[in-house]
Amino acid sequence: MIDTHMHADSRSSEDFEKMYLAGIDTAITCSYYPYKIDNKTVLLNHLNRIREYDTKRASEYGLDLKVALGIHPANAIKDPEIIYENLYKWIEKDQIIAIGEIGLEDLTDDEISIFKKQLDIADETNSKVIIHTPRKNKREVLKEILKILPQHLDEKQAVIDHINPNVIAEAIASESMLGLTVQPQKMDKEDAIAILDEYGFDRFLLNSDISNKPSDPLSVPKTIRELERLGYENNNIKKISHENAQKFFNI
């Protein structure tokens, strides 16, 4: 199994062990700092910590931790050039599998500018992106994301994450992959399965988004086991369990 979106820097080593023992072989950790960062050096240190330290922590428990890095909209800074420079370096050295998570939160000018620039970097380097959609005003923000994205990047290079039943109709009209986050206060496994039941398994990735917020490190295997219990076809379960993620991220 692959958990396609988590935040390893805010989780304990015991969580990594639980995930591995429950059948998660690979997880993708994304950048997000839960407090306001005003200093570009602090943000760069945060990103390097994920890439250098958390991957090592996870590997000690058997979990293959892949890395996506970028400027989360909650961490928009006034002088992001050093982050852009390092994105080029990390991509060139194959140290990250995607730029992420990026996106929009409050629709500020800084957020939009940084989002567009990171999409441009992805286009220039033929990289994948993981796009955040917020808990609040999700439909309004998603509408702006769907307007901006195709102006800067092929939609097929993006996964739009944290999609729920309230916005699936808008999101499915894009050509992007869509992330289903099974996490307390976001969406339960029954809603995720209902989306898969209606729209099929080809366009979706599954994740826990475990972070500093209330989270369940085993939400991905719980969802997969529920699909098995309900008698869904094995080839479809494989798609959402790992095959879609392997193909999209080339892992």
- The pairing of strands 26-29 and 177-181 is unpaired
Q: How many domains does the chain have?
A: 1
- Cα 209 to Cα 167: distance, rounded to the nearest angstrom: 18
Residue 19 exposure: Cα atoms within 13 Å on the Cβ side = 34
Residue 251, token pair as written in the block: 């892992």
Q: For the segment 92-102, what is each residue's pLDDT rounded down to a tens digit?
A: 999 999 999 99
Phi, psi of 67 (to 5 degrees): -125, 135
Residue 156 sits in a domain whose CATH number is 3.20.20.140
pTM for this entry: 0.96
Say if CB 51 and CB 69 are below 8 A apart. yes
pLDDT tens-digit readout, 138-170: 999 999 999 999 999 999 999 999 999 999 999
Q: Write b or e for each residue in 241-251: b if 16 or more Cβ atoms lie within 10 A of its Cβ, otherwise e.
A: bbbbbeebbee
Name the strand (E) or helix (H) holding 27: strand 26-29
Domain range for 115 is 2-249
Q: What pLDDT, on a 0 to 100 scale, did the predictor assign at position 71?
A: 97
pLDDT per residue as tens digits for the range 7-40: 999 999 999 999 999 999 999 999 998 877 878 9
Would you put residue 8 in left (φ > 0), alpha (ψ -120 to 50) or beta?
alpha
